[in-house]
Structure 1
Amino acid sequence: MWKLWNYCGAVALAAGLAASAHAQEMRAPEGPIEFTVGAGAGGSPDVIMRTIAQIMNEEGIVENPIVIQNRSGAGHSNAYNHVLGLPGDENTLLTMASPVFTTPIVQGTPSVVDQVTPIAGFIQSELVLLTTPDSPFNSLTDMVAAATAEPGRVRVAGGASGGNDHIATGLIETAAGITLTYIPHESGGAARATFLGGNVELHFATLAEGMEQIAAGTAKPLAILSEERRTEEAYANVPTAKEQGVDVVYTQFWGVAGPPGLDPAVAAWWADKFRKATESQTWQDGLKANLQLGQFYALEEAGEYFKREQETFRTVLTKIGLAK
């Protein structure tokens, strides 16, 4: 079975987090802060970082003004190259999303994970596979049958090459023994526009995004890439991919890191602030409303986690022929 985002040991990591963060010397940066986001406005990384920045400032967790800077394009490489070019900078953080891990693997360039300063991982989201409302597919089984009969005919609109959508597509292809046509876009929003325009048959969405499209009548769900069915009314009757004979579980995640060589005291300060923000009632309410998971890990634990996920991505990308 293909599965990303490992829950094993998560409780132990969380239990030791507060003590380790406070044991580390902490120092606040001075001046305005930039949260660098590799996705365009409205994309999941953008919304997540704007939300947590607002909580930090409005609830007095961070006094420094925080600006979200979208440096989209090139599979998040515009964003991470900007941050990598600011060694030791105390006023810039990088949003850690899957393209930060996968784009270097696809392009054959040096790992970003091995260069940045890990700070925290704090949110995860399961995915739903959608098709158009007038599609003849009423299940993942229907789609697999069509793709088996005509390899490459079924198209998937996704974000950057090697991103979450591309990996999820490759996992389904591998597990089902089919060939799909993946069409990359500059951002998830652009991919969604292509799908909503009826120009492709498939699109992946987070559960919250998918719920909106299903409610609006602009999409219908084929499968959820989770271990078990969801209990929410909108998804209660939507089977998992595993239930339909396609053994794939996939969970995307987001976090933050600092530039190379960031002072450990500043990194520890940020880890503490992200922990406090994610413990707020506003954040917890948001997780529930958006059907998201909120496992938190920071500093050394975050670094270890990022490296493990990097190797998992490398294995998957190699298997589906994308790694260089």
Structure 2
Amino acid sequence: MRRDTFLKSLAALAASTGLPLEALAAGSNLKMMIPANPGGGWDTTGRALGKALQEAGAAATVAYENKGGAAGALGLAQFVNASKGDPNAVMVMGAVMLGGIITGKPPVSLSQATPIARLTSEYNVFVLPADSPYKTMKDVVEQMKKDPGSIKWGGGSRGSTEHVAAAMIAREVGVDAAKINYVPFRGGGEAVAAILGGNVSIGGSGYSEFQTYIESGKMRAIGVTSDARLKGINVPTLKEQGINVVIGNWRGVYGAGGITPDQRKALTEMIVKATKSKSWAESLEKNGWTSALMAGPEFEKFVDDEFASLRAVMVKAGMI
């Protein structure tokens, strides 16, 4: 019997006999949409999760698809349209996608997919290329006050947490946030190349994306958006430097729209199981991520609250 025929038969058996749906997922291919180009935070998170799912025995294999652009909206659209009703399809997402939906108003929405779980949280770090004429955040701010457009901020898509943070910094120091020169990139790899090549003045992202370059001296970290200094990372907070800006980034996972409550429960159990694996623990430590597991209705409410909160922050920062 062909594998796909076997899996369909097994699914029918589950529906008729009550076989735990996680048993199906453990024996099937999981399809993971990563709505960003390779090399960024979503890509790293998705592949780390896939590895953990397999190590935990929650999935036999994981197939990845990268679709970057529009703060994840392009990948979201493809996921919504191609995966409806598929219990073995998941998508990585997070705060960046919420910001992109608010600013870009795409024709699809997160309500067309199924909330599964929040995974991690981290703060943004701002860096300069090693040969930058600026040495500190104060230098960057002073130049921005003189000529807002002369400072090119590089980071994720419009509406990303680093974009919001840049606008908040401008507002805090008395610069019209609408005048900042923000250059969006579709993935962390593109942003890193732009920073190293001097194509932007300052870049922002999660510490894990810049860690190698900071440690090698190719980038200089000048500020982090956390409330207090991050453990083991000697980078001053923006608050320490007199800029009252604190903003976090979180990442999670959604399932396809149109799945049943039992299928949603099974997916949630799979993800939770994966986060208890040794592989996932190693990924958290390696990337400097903070575990922020939240699932079920609690996660769904969290996303709704985040939409409202982020929209308010963006309005206040002059972004919309």
Tell me the TM-score normalized by structure 1. 0.85
Partner of 1:79: 75
> Which of residues 274, 280, 301 in structure 2 aligns to 1:277?
274
Find the aligned partners of 2:209 and 2:224 in 1 and give their Cα distance.
13
Task: Give 2:21's match in structure 1, choosing from 23, 27, 49.
Answer: 27
In the TM superposition, 1:47-196 aligns within 5 A as: 47-63=44-60, 65-85=61-81, 86-109=83-106, 112-178=109-175, 179-196=179-196
Displacement of 1:112 in angstroms is 2.1
Whether contact under 8 Å (1:113, 1:307) holds in the other structure is no
**Which residue of the partner structure matches residue 305 of structure 2?**
308
Pair 160,132 (structure 1): closer, same or farther in 2 beyond 3 Å: same
Partner of 2:9: none
- Give 1:317 shift: 2.5
SS of the aligned residue for 1:215 comes to helix
Match of 1:245 among 225, 242, 247: 242
Q: Which amino acid aligns with 1:104?
A: I
User: Secondary structure, in 3 states, of the residue corresponding to 2:21?
Assistant: coil
CA contact (8 A) 1:101 1:111 kept: no
- Contact 2:123 2:206 (C-alpha < 8 Å) held by counterparts: yes
Query: Partners in 2 of 1:275 and 1:60 — Cα distance?
Result: 12
Q: Which residue of 2 aligns with 1:298?
A: 295
Alignment of 1:223-242 (within 5 A): 223-232=223-232, 235-236=233-234, 238-242=235-239
What are the Cα deviations for residues 219-240 of structure 1, in whole angstroms up to 9, with x where unaligned?
11111111111342xx32x211
Who is 2:214 aligned against?
214
Q: Over alpha carbons, which structure has the higher Rg?
A: 2
Contact 1:196 1:218 in 2 (8 A): yes
User: Unpaired segments of 5 or more residues in structure 2?
Assistant: 1-18
Q: For residue 198 of structure 1, what is the aligned residue in structure 2?
A: 198
Supply the RMSD in Å over aligned alpha carbons. 2.0
Letter in 2 for 1:78: L
C-alpha separation between the residues in 2 aligned to 1:109 and 1:143? 33
Query: Counterpart amino acid of 2:48?
Result: T
Report if aligned partners of 1:100, 1:112 keep a CA contact under 8 Å in 2: no
